[in-house]
Amino acid sequence: MAGSGTAHLRPDQERALVVDDLVVQFPVTGGTVHAVSGLSLDLLPGETLGILGESGCGKSSAGRAVMQLPPPTSGEVRLGTVELTGIKARDMRRKRARMQLVLQDPVSALNPRRRVKDLVVEGLEIWGWGDRDRDSFVDELLSSVGLDPETVRDKRPHELSGGQCQRVCIARSIALDPDVLICDEPVSSLDVSVQAQILNLLEQARERLRLAMIFIAHDVAVVKNISDRVLVMYLGKTCEVLPSASLEGALHPYTRLLLASVPEASDELPAATGAPARAVELPSPLDPPSGCRFRTRCPLATDRCASEEPVLREVRPAQYVACHHVDESTEEV
Amino acid sequence: MTTDVNAPHVLEVEDLRTVFHTPRGDVHAVDGVSFSLAAGETLGLVGESGSGKSVLGRTVMGLVASGPRTTVTGRVRIGGRDVHALKPAERRRLWGPEVAMVFQDPMTSLNPVKRVGTHLTETLRRHLGCSRTEATERAVDLLRQVGIPEPARRMGQYPHELSGGMRQRVVIAIALACDPRLLIADEPTTALDVTVQKQILDLLASLVAERTMAMVLVSHDLGAVAGRTDRVQVMYAGRTVESGPTRPVFDVPAHPYTDALLASIPRLDNPPHTLLRTIEGNPPDMARPPAGCRFGPRCAFVTDQCREAQPEAAVVPGGRAVACHHPLSRSILEGAGDGR
């Protein structure tokens, strides 16, 4: 990326969430961490956007900034038609109930002293039960995430496995019938067999409730499986936005590096040849490279990349790439 | 890839059992595992958390040994010597020249108040009796071999000044310092990013080839193991459910667990919104393992026989073994074809 730009936004459609030029910075001793630098994205109702990137690329900071936890340094976040930045704390609390966050470590995300039956309806305790019957709603909610209400209802988080805790977290987040669900690495602390269960559960919940979902993860195959669209981040910026069905036709050198790094259990050993990018360390987000932030690792980098920041542009239908050296004729492999 | 039957084995493990005596009862973390490894060979130990793969790695190393709360039975022979029959002081002399280990978390396996160089020279001077200058020279050389740029400058840095990938390279350099014949890598890349993960796995593979070392690669990541091991051993609840040459085992698994585990991995070539095959239920509580086959309660093909009798590992063609009463017959036949 290392570029910014808004070419991939779809202002002519009804959108559940719009993020415009989001900037997140953290002051630290000796400078400022540029966690997210000008991220724009939009989300249609029922759509899943995967945000893909390595640790330190700002994907989690972006997810939290969308939730206003804490609010971003600058930029706009619109949920439906309501602008969230700068609204009153009281209104924000109300709006935040329309967005929910599922975190990476499900055990530490739950209050260890409360029982499952109280944990899953904490939101309703605050916002009111309407005409719902408490006990039957708890049971219904637990069954909907594949937990047996009889066994888990009275348990506390430490009595459950990681996968079960993640199911409780998901039940909690869909209890208020939100519009947007933000999942921050929801399966990366789980075993593969449990990971598959949770991914299927999220997929079914999204379909049933017509949720718009942001799925943040570092695992290329996981993101590809669950998303409609994938946004690739590097050092706080967007490299590429493309439909996940065409992920293997990615053009940005960084996306290609990620794809080449995936070890696959069931295919031939990926050819050791042509790692498409130089395997050097991630530059510091305290002092990101000028121009294109990926240039220090990019095999295509030229002087232009150091001086001029690439902007996202549509290279193929629905595929947006921020790179000076990529066009529709670029070879895929 | 094929094992020369006459080659002396660097590592021989026979009916190894590790039992932890806990307040909740005895936990049979490793329950009767046998395998052997020749020089230049790489074995992948795969399984989910709680399958006993890490305890197995540590028991082989001798880091887990019999004591007040632990009982180890069976035999581990490294270079012909029984690790668990040795006195602690003798065992320590084995660590370094014979066997070395790379751990998962490179931050906690380095001493935060010692410089990178000290970690290395300490090992070299103690085990090989190098002089100060000789140790420094060799340390710089080792850092260069594991692909650390500017090794001389890195010697004076502290672990926190290095990135995760660099730290793991340092840990590997320490493990290699005494030129071990066997390297045990316990989840060496789990804490690292994908692009770095690939670099570290490639580095380990090339070091094994260069030095004709034997390596045990312990990992939950089947993809990482698939491309970089000669043989694989799939663990479930302390036992080996299936073992054999990596490619055939992953291509046509014979045990229902291996099959289900492979099917539950999201694949890059799946179309979006593919529902994955899952394994229902959770791994068993190891203090109270189920009777009969331990995978029985989660298995799609379970019968009464499975609930009563623990299946023994049966050898199937192609150098493979599978512990199941009802192995997936189709794959066995195809496996036999592969074996020829």
Chosen for mutation from A145, A187, A264, A298 (greatest number of chain B CBs closer than 10 Å) is: A264
CB atoms within 10 A of CB B185: 27
Mean pLDDT, range B231-256, rounded to an integer: 92
Q: What is the pLDDT of residue B267?
A: 85
User: Taking the domains of chain B in order of start, what are their residue ranges?
Assistant: 247-340
A217 belongs to a structural domain: no
Domain coverage including residue A283:
1-49+57-93+229-262+274-327
Distance of CA A111 to the CA centre of its chain: 24
Cα separation of B69 and B184, whole Å? 24
A111 belongs to a structural domain: no
Q: For residue range A184-228, what is the model confidence (pLDDT) as tens digits?
A: 999 888 888 888 989 999 999 999 999 999 999 988 999 999 999
Is B195 close to A219, i.e. CB distance below 8 A?
no
DSSP string, B121-189: HHHHHHHH---HHHHHHHHHHHHHHTT-SSHHHHTTS-GGGS-HHHHHHHHHHHHHTT--SEEEEESTT
Is B276 close to A200, i.e. CB distance below 8 A?
yes
pLDDT band at B6 (very low <50, low <70, confident <90, very high): low
pLDDT band at A115 (very low <50, low <70, confident <90, very high): very high
pLDDT band at B185 (very low <50, low <70, confident <90, very high): very high
Domains identified in chain A, total number:
1
Q: For residue range B270-287, what is the model confidence (pLDDT) as tens digits?
A: 888 888 888 887 788 888
Give the nearest chain B residue to A197 (CA atoms): B278
Q: What is the pLDDT of residue B112?
A: 92
Q: What is the pLDDT of residue A270?
A: 44
Q: What is the pLDDT of residue B108?
A: 84
> Which pair of tokens denotes residue A34?
């540029």
Mean pLDDT, range B148-174, rounded to an integer: 89
Q: Of the candidates B199, B261, B268, which has its C-beta nearest A192's C-beta?
A: B261
pLDDT band at B194 (very low <50, low <70, confident <90, very high): confident
Give the nearest chain B residue to A254 (CA atoms): B195
A44 belongs to a structural domain: yes
Q: Of the candidates B220, B221, B276, which has its C-beta nearest A263's C-beta?
A: B221
Does residue B340 carry a pLDDT above 60?
no
Q: What is the pLDDT of residue A1?
A: 39
Is B268 close to A257, i.e. CB distance below 8 A?
no
Q: Yes or no: say if A292 and A309 are a contact pair by the CB < 8 Å rule.
A: yes
Mean pLDDT, range B239-254, rounded to an integer: 91
b (16+ CB within 10 A) / e for A263-302: bbbeeeebeeeebbbeeeebbebeebbebbbbbbbbebbe
A24 belongs to a structural domain: yes
B chain contacts of residue A221, beta-carbon cutoff 8 Å: 265-268, 270
Cα separation of B238 and B241, whole Å? 9
Does residue A84 carry a pLDDT above 50?
yes
pLDDT band at A127 (very low <50, low <70, confident <90, very high): confident
Give the nearest chain B residue to A56 (CA atoms): B193
Does residue A36 carry a pLDDT above 50?
yes
A chain contacts of residue B268, beta-carbon cutoff 8 Å: 220-221, 224, 247-248, 259, 262, 264
Does residue B77 carry a pLDDT above 90?
yes
Cα separation of A63 and A43, whole Å? 13
C-alpha distances (whole Å) from B284 to each of A147, A289, B23, B27 are 17, 50, 18, 11
A256 belongs to a structural domain: yes
A216 belongs to a structural domain: no
As a whole number, the mean pLDDT across chain B is: 87
Q: For residue range B119-135, what is the model confidence (pLDDT) as tens digits?
A: 999 989 988 889 999 99
Backbone angles phi and psi of B303, in degrees to 5: -130, 180
Cα separation of B108 and B104, whole Å? 9
Contacts of A162 (CB under 8 A, 6+ apart): A106, A107, A189, A190, A191, A194
Q: Of the candidates B48, B195, B283, which has its C-beta nearest A279's C-beta?
A: B195
Mean pLDDT, range B49-54, rounded to an integer: 86
Backbone angles phi and psi of B226, in degrees to 5: -55, -50
Does residue A265 carry a pLDDT above 80?
no
Is B193 close to A54, i.e. CB distance below 8 A?
yes
Is A282 close to B223, i.e. CB distance below 8 A?
no
Tell me the three state secondary structure of residue A203.
helix
Q: What is the CATH number of the domain that holds A36?
A: 3.40.50.300
pLDDT band at A20 (very low <50, low <70, confident <90, very high): very high
Is B194 close to A220, i.e. CB distance below 8 A?
yes
Cα separation of B234 and A301, whole Å? 43
Give the nearest chain B residue to A220 (CA atoms): B268
B chain contacts of residue A248, beta-carbon cutoff 8 Å: 268-269
Residues of chain B with pLDDT > 90, as a percent, come to: 42
Q: For residue range B9-41, what is the model confidence (pLDDT) as tens digits?
A: 899 999 999 999 988 889 999 999 999 999 999
Is A196 close to B49, i.e. CB distance below 8 A?
no
**Rg of chain A on CA atoms, in Å:** 21
Is B268 close to A259, i.e. CB distance below 8 A?
yes
B chain contacts of residue A247, beta-carbon cutoff 8 Å: 268
Cα separation of B215 and B39, whole Å? 8
How far off is chain B from A270, nearest CA to CA, in Å? 8
ipTM: 0.78
Cα separation of A127 and A168, whole Å? 19
Distance of CA A6 to the CA centre of its chain: 18
pLDDT band at A266 (very low <50, low <70, confident <90, very high): low
Cα separation of A294 and A279, whole Å? 12
Chosen for mutation from A49, A185, A192, A210 (greatest number of chain B CBs closer than 10 Å) is: A192
Does residue A261 carry a pLDDT above 50?
yes
Give the nearest chain B residue to A164 (CA atoms): B282
Q: What is the pLDDT of residue B3?
A: 45
pLDDT band at B173 (very low <50, low <70, confident <90, very high): very high
Q: For residue range B134-153, what is the model confidence (pLDDT) as tens digits?
A: 999 999 999 988 888 888 88
